[in-house]
Amino acid sequence: MARVLITGGAGFIGSHLVDACLAKGFEVRVFDNFATGKRENLAHVAGNVELVEADLRDLEAVRKAMEGVELVSHQGALGSVPRSVADPLTTNAVNVDGTLNVLVAARDAGVRRLVFASSSSVYGDTVELPKREEMPLRPKSPYACSKLAAEEYCKTFHKVYGLGTVALRYFNVFGPRQDPTSQYAAVIPKFVTALCTGERPVVYGDGTQSRDFTFIRNVAEANLLALDAPEEALGQAYNIALNDQVTLLQILENLGRIIGVTPNPEFAEARAGDVHDSRAAIDLARERLGYQPRVGCQEGLEQTVAWYREGGPGTLDWSA
Do the Cβ atoms of 221 and 242 come closer than 8 Å? no
Active-site hit among 143, 153, 170, 308: 143
Distances (CA, A) of 160 to 103, 112, 233: 12, 15, 16
CA distance 238 to 129: 16
Do the Cβ atoms of 278 and 239 come closer than 8 Å? no
Active site residue 153: no
CA distance 129 to 278: 7
CA distance 175 to 82: 21
Residues 6+ apart with CB under 8 A from 142: 84, 85, 88, 91, 92, 273
Residues 6+ apart with CB under 8 A from 126: 135, 136, 138
Catalytically active residues, by annotation: 143
